[in-house]
Structure 1
Amino acid sequence: MTITAATPPAHRAPVDLARGFLTGGVLGTSLAALVAGIVIERVPLFVTGLAVPAVYGLLVFLAGAPRRLREASVAPCTALAVIESREAVKGEETDVPVRFDLTVAPDGAPAYRVEIRQDVHIADLPDYRPQSVVVVEYAPDRPWQVRIVKRPTPEWEERAAGARIDSAPGPAMVSDPPEGAAAGFATLFGLLLGAAAVVLLFRADLFPQGGAARQPSPKPSVFSTPTPSTTIVTSASSTMVLGPGRSLLDDGELRRAVDSLTQGKDRRRAVTLVVQNRLLSIVFLPTGKEAPHFDLRSVPYDRIPSLVTAARTTLGVESPRSWQLTADRVTGSLTIRITVTGSEGTASMEADGRGEVVRRSPVR
Structure 2
Amino acid sequence: MSVPAPARLGPVALVRGLLAGIVIGTALCAFVVGIIIEYVPLIIAGLGLPLVYGILLYLAGAPRRAREAAVVPVVALAKIESLRAGGTETGDVPVDFVLTVAPDGAATHRVEIQHGVNLVDIPNHRPGNIIVVQYPPDRLWKAKIVERLSPEWERRVAEASIESAPESSLVQEPPEGCLSGGLTLLGLLLGAALVLFLFRAELFAPEAPARAEEIQSSMTTSSSGSATVTVDQSLLGEGELRRVIDALARTADVSRVITAVVEERRLTVVFAPTDAQVPWFDLRAMAVDRVPALVKKATTTIDVGSPQTWQVIAVPFGADVSLRVIVTGPDGSGSLPG
Q: What TM-score range do you get, normalising by the shorter chain?
A: 0.5 to 0.7
- From 98, 108, 111, the equivalent of 2:105 is 108
Alpha-carbon distance in structure 2 between the residues aligned to 1:57 and 1:216 = 42
Question: Match of 2:266?
Answer: 225
Q: By how many angstroms is 1:164 displaced?
A: 1.4
Secondary structure in 2 aligned to 1:144?
Answer: helix
Matching of residue 96 in structure 1 with residue 93 in structure 2: yes
- Residue 119 in structure 1 maps to residue 116 in structure 2: yes
> Aligned-pair RMSD on alpha carbons?
2.8
Helix, strand or coil at the partner of 2:63: helix
Aligned position for 1:44: 41
Q: Using a 3 Å threshold, how does the CA distance of structure 1 residues 99 and 43 change in structure 2: closer, same or farther?
A: same
Partner of 2:237: none
Instruction: Rate the CA distance shift 1:42–1:161 in 2: closer, same or farther, 3 A.
Output: same
How do 1:128-167 and structure 2 match up within 5 A? 128-167=125-164
Matched-pair contact (CA < 8 Å) for 2:6–2:171 = no
Name the residue aligned to 1:325. Answer: none
Deviation at 1:91, TM superposition (A): 6.3
Residues 5 and 168, structure 1, Cα contact 8 Å, conserved in 2: no
Distance in 2 of aligned mates of 1:126 and 1:162: 21
What is the CA distance between 1:76 and its match in structure 2? 2.1
Q: Quote how far apart the aligned CAs of 1:87 are.
A: 1.0
Aligned residues: 223
Deviation at 1:126, TM superposition (A): 2.2
Which residue of 1 is the match for residue 10 of structure 2? 13
Secondary structure of 1:195 counterpart: helix
Q: Secondary structure at the match of 2:32?
A: helix
**Cα distance, 1:5 vs structure 2:** 6.7
Which residue in 1 is equivalent to 2:166?
169
Does the Cα contact within 8 Å between 1:97 and 1:120 map onto a contact in 2?
yes
* SS of match in other structure, 2:140: strand
Q: Which residue identity does 1:225 align to in structure 2?
A: R
State the 1:92 CA deviation: 5.7
User: Whole-Å Cα distance in 2 between the matches of residues 75 and 187 of structure 1?
Assistant: 33
Structure 2 equivalent of residue 72 of structure 1: 69
After TM superposition, list the pairs within 5 Å mapping 1:78-89 onto structure 2: 78-89=75-86
- Which residue in 2 is equivalent to 1:34? 31
- Counterpart CA distance in 2 for 1:85 and 1:96 is 16
Match of 1:53 in 2: 50
Structure with higher helix content: 2
SS for the counterpart of 1:48 is helix
How much does 1:216 deviate? 10
Distance 1:152 1:40, change over 3 A: same
What is the rounded CA distance, in whole Å, between the counterparts of 1:192 and 1:170 in structure 2? Answer: 41
Separation of aligned partners in 1, 2:149 and 2:167? 27
Question: What is the distance in 2 between the residues matched to 1:45 and 1:93?
Answer: 43
Alignment match of 1:181 (pick from 175, 178, 182): 178
Q: Secondary structure at the match of 1:87?
A: strand
**Contact preservation (8 Å) 2:80, 2:126:** yes
| Alpha-carbon distance between aligned partners in 2 of 1:24 and 1:124, rounded to the nearest angstrom | 44
Residue 83 (structure 1) shift = 0.3
Cα shift readout 1:238-265 (whole Å, capped 9, x = no counterpart): xxxxxxxxxxxx99xxxxxxxxxxxxxx
- Residue 15 of structure 1 and its aligned partner are, at CA, apart by 1.6
The 1:161/1:24 distance shift into structure 2, 3 A limit, reads same
| C-alpha deviation, 1:46, in angstroms | 1.5
One-letter amino acid of the structure 1 residue matched with residue 36 of structure 2: V
* 4+ residue runs over 6 A deviation: 215-219
**Separation (CA, whole Å) in 2 of partners of 1:199 and 1:185:** 21
Check whether the contact 2:2–2:106 (CA below 8 A) recurs between aligned residues: no
TM-superposed CA distance for 1:226, in Å, is 9.1
Identity value in percent: 52
Which amino acid letter does the alignment assign opposite residue 202 of structure 1? F
- CA deviation string 1:94-140 (max 9, x = no partner): 32221110011111122221111111122222221101111111122
Contact (CA 8 Å) 2:80, 2:130: kept in 1 or not?
yes
